[in-house]
Amino acid sequence: MADNSSPPAADFLDQSEIDKLLSQAVETAAPKQQLLRADGARHGAELKVESYDFRNPAFLAEAELRRLRVLHEDFIRYLSARLSLYMRMEFGLKMAKLTTLTYAKFTESLPNPTHLSLFKIEPLVGIGVLDVNPRLALTIADRLLGGRGHSVKAERYLTEIEVALIEDIILIILEEWGAQWKLEQELHPLILGHENNGRFLQTSPKDAIVLALTLEANFGDCSEQIQIGVPYYMIEPVVKKMQVRRQKDAAVLPTEKRAEWQPAFDRITVPVRAEWAALELTVRELASLRVGDVIELPAALCNETRLLLNGTAKFVGTVGHDADRVAVQLTRKLPPEELTHVKSDGRKYP
């Protein structure tokens, strides 16, 4: 008779056991990464490998870029309010991007056709580039001529008259951009000229680091971009001044608030008591005391008189006579570790 019974379950491995064996084999086969120092010693810490894009390197530390982002957010808010007042129409601005890249990459990213304004910020060294989309520039020019600010659909270069019209707007943008550094240095913008193609610009070396700010502008039914690109060596002096000022502000220790006398304190009464830590007696000795008995005390005890304010020992002084009164002359203040409190039953507790 044939045996149709199944083999015992111990002869088979389930999927979890197979995965465990495979992971152990991979860990055994994979060599551990080792780091050697310059002196040949091995580094015991685990290595953390991070990817780095050499085609788009980060020229500024994340903390520095964060500070610049906060600074430019204030600039955008003030600029939006000023342009809205000047144009008598809502001019919305929002930061789209703030990054660093090479000058060659920046000029390649400029659209064509476009309107470029070359500017200088006195007394800083270097030339910046302000890029305004032609559709936005034409819409602004139409508004300045009395139009309703409807978006112009034409994709063309600006005429000399249109360039002259929007120069006031460009100057406002540059003035507000320079005003964000007013705590470090007084800056004055100056427009050097205009271009309509970024491919032939040579205002900075190709490998120079450029801080590029991209704004999304909403003016009427026109929604386009404005770009501001400045070489980092141009703003580096004011950035360093800003860092020094922040370090000084962080280094200033908070001044301790001194207690001031308030008129309301005049009517507050505080119980004052002077005492000595004279000696200790047993209960039997204490019970045997009678009227007329004399208890001897050391003479130096008078110089160790403790003064209690509301049950708390605060000062040490010397006891003596002042006319017909007993007085205590304060000699020192008790440190916090020696302060003691007295309960209503006379017992002391820290």
Q: What pLDDT does residue 43 have? A: 65
Strand segments (E) across the chain: 35-36, 42-43, 91-102, 115-122, 128-132, 188-195, 209-219, 222-231, 272-275, 305-309, 312-322, 325-333, 341-342, 348-349
Q: What pLDDT does residue 301 have? A: 77
Can you spell out the DSSP letters for 55-104? TS---S-HHHHHHHHHHHHHHHHHHHHHHHHHHTS-EEEEEEEEEEEEHH
Q: What pLDDT does residue 113 have? A: 84
Q: Please work out, in degrees rounded to the nearest 5, the angle formed at the alpha carbon of residue 347 by the alpha carbons of 344 and 350.
A: 105
| Residue ranges in the chain whose pLDDT is less than 70 | 1-15, 22-38, 40, 43-61, 251-257, 337-350
Q: How far apart are CA 123 and CA 243, in angstroms?
A: 19
Q: What pLDDT does residue 30 have? A: 47
Q: How far apart are CA 91 and CA 87, in angstroms?
A: 8
Q: What is the pLDDT of residues 9-26, one digit of tens each?
A: 445 666 677 777 766 665
- The 3 state secondary structure assigned to 24-55 is HHHHHHCCCCCEECCCCCEECCCCCCCCCCCC
Query: What does the domain layout of the chain look like in residue ranges?
Result: 62-250, 270-285+300-349
Q: What pLDDT does residue 228 have? A: 94
Q: What pLDDT does residue 26 have? A: 54
Q: What pLDDT does residue 344 have? A: 46
Written out in words, the top-level CATH class of the domain with range 270-285+300-349 is mainly beta
Cβ neighbours of residue 64 closer than 8 Å, sequence gap 6 or more:
239, 243
CA count, 13 A, side-chain hemisphere, 243:
12
Q: What pLDDT does residue 273 have? A: 85
Q: What pLDDT does residue 212 have? A: 92
Q: Please work out, in degrees rounded to the nearest 5, the angle formed at the alpha carbon of residue 104 by the alpha carbons of 103 and 106.
A: 60
Q: What pLDDT does residue 257 have? A: 67
Q: How far apart are CA 183 and CA 170, in angstroms?
A: 23
CATH hierarchy code of domain 62-250: 3.40.1550.10
> Could you give the strand order of the β-sheet that contains 91-102, starting from the edge strand earlier in sequence?
91-102, 209-219, 222-231, 128-132, 115-122, 188-195
Total count of residues recorded for the chain: 350
The alpha carbon of 60 is separated from its chain's Cα centroid by a whole number of angstroms, namely 16
Q: How far apart are CA 115 and CA 197, in angstroms?
A: 7
Q: What is the pLDDT of residues 301-350, one digit of tens each?
A: 778 888 888 888 888 888 888 777 888 888 888 887 666 654 444 555 45
Q: What pLDDT does residue 246 have? A: 77
Q: Please work out, in degrees rounded to the nearest 5, the angle formed at the alpha carbon of residue 225 by the alpha carbons of 219 and 227.
A: 130
Which DSSP letter does residue 126 get? S
Taking the complete model, does pTM exceed 0.85, yes or no?
Answer: no
